[in-house]
Structure 1
Amino acid sequence: MRRGLVHAMAWTLATGAAVTLSWWGVHSVMSGTAYDPPLAVPLATRPLSSSTHRDGPPPSSPAPSPTPSASQSPTRSPSPSPSPSSPKPPPGPSPYPQPDAGASGNVKAYPVSGGRAVFDLGTSSAELVSATPAAGWRMQVWKQDFWIRVTFTRDGREVSVFCTWHDHPPAVEIVDP
């Protein structure tokens, strides 16, 4: 009886150690890859437009008088009406997307038949924000100093999204034969 208990305890400890070692090895290899949860990209601090935004101080209501008389009528200052804010039209077409001033970059999504790749395009470099394969597709990501490639594959079909920025602002090309 005691011998069986010792064997069971030894097996339990060895299995726990093997699982822990395997988890640690896989975790250290997979950290920093596309399988990590995506990081949030900071957004611009100023809103581009808002239905509740008003240009000016908030309207003030007059202080109520302690004893109103018939000759006194409370006066109210008219509340300012919201000024129509028309967004500025974008400048002429540009071959390369340019980021807004004050923003970290220009976050653009590129949906393809195999999934979706999202890049943060700066003025002289780019970062992969996320890459999500469609149902039934597999995904692989390659990153180098001046380019990122996201490839979606299924049943021998391959769809790639390339982002390059060597000697030019970041440009995205989709190869879907």
Structure 2
Amino acid sequence: MLRGLAHGAAWTLATSTAVALSWFGVHTVLTGTVDDPPRALPLSTAPSPPPRTSSTSRPRPPAPGTSAAVPSGGGPSGTASAGTGPQQPPGTARPVPNAAGATGDVHSYPVSGGRVVLDLGPAAASFVSATPDTGWSTRVWKQPGWIRVDFTSGLHTSSVFCTWNGHSPTVQTYGT
């Protein structure tokens, strides 16, 4: 009887030690990961003019003797700009200051399940937002040197990885 109690106590001690070590190991790895809610970019309060062109037709060339200048109130996507610089075509990056005050290029990465927006600087990147599609959920990991965003729905997962450990930021997408 005493021998059975000694074996049971040894087993309980060994199992408790293994569980505690596992918990501390997982806790240490996950300490820096945060699932922040997505941040929204500020929208202009000025009303947007209707689009001047459609995606299936080109604008007419200007008549001879007239100027082909871009109007100052409307950008190519129909949003108003407050004189923040030259207009750029849709899908290109636009320099904006990030939380640290540095200026980088904001890029959007569409994948199955949603869209990720990152601010890519010359030596680092910052997470701007992740917008999941209907029925998908988002998980974000941020560490010094990398950012990972996953969109999951059931057994399907799409990911966006951004790394900059000793090099300029590079982005890889999986599940597009």
Q: TM-score, normalised by structure 1?
A: 0.47
Q: Which has the higher strand share?
A: 2
Question: Which structure has the greater CA radius of gyration?
Answer: 1
